């Protein structure tokens, strides 16, 4: 059985993912945590609660910014 794949773009780079991949799983694969980044999906900022529930879809465009404390 061949697994279906989708393509998304994150910070300008294309990624091939297994269909049904969640945003938290995608971030984890890249050594990031959903609670340590701000994510914009297709031009709309996601709250942390929304990000936790997001299943990525073909054509999604993500902008991911790491949260850094400091002043």
pLDDT digits (tens, 9 = 90+) for 20-69: 999 999 999 999 988 899 999 999 999 999 999 999 999 999 999 998 87
Does residue 70 surpass a pLDDT of 90? Answer: no
Beta strands 61-66 and 5-10 are parallel
Residues 9-24 have a mean pLDDT of 98
Q: Can you give the pTM of this predicted structure?
A: 0.89
Tell me, rounded to whole angstroms, the distance of Cα 4 from its chain centroid: 18
Distance (Å, whole) CA 56 – CA 7? 9
Per-residue pLDDT at 3: 86
The whole-angstrom separation of Cα 47 and Cα 45 is 7
Pair of tokens at residue 18: 């297994």
CATH number of the domain at 5-66, out of 3.60.20.30, 3.10.20.30, 3.40.30.10, 3.30.420.40? Answer: 3.10.20.30
Query: Residue 71 — very low, low, confident or very high, per pLDDT cuts 50/70/90?
Result: low
């Amino acid at each position: 059985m061949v697994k279906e794949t989708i393509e998304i773009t994150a910070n300008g780079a294309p990624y091939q993912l297994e269909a049904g991949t969640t945003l938290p799983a995608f971030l984890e694969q890249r050594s990031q945590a959903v609670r340590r980044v701000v994510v914009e999906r297709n031009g709309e900022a996601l709250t942390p609660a929304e990000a936790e529930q997001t299943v990525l879809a073909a054509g999604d465009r993500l902008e991911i910014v790491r949260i850094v404390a400091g002043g």
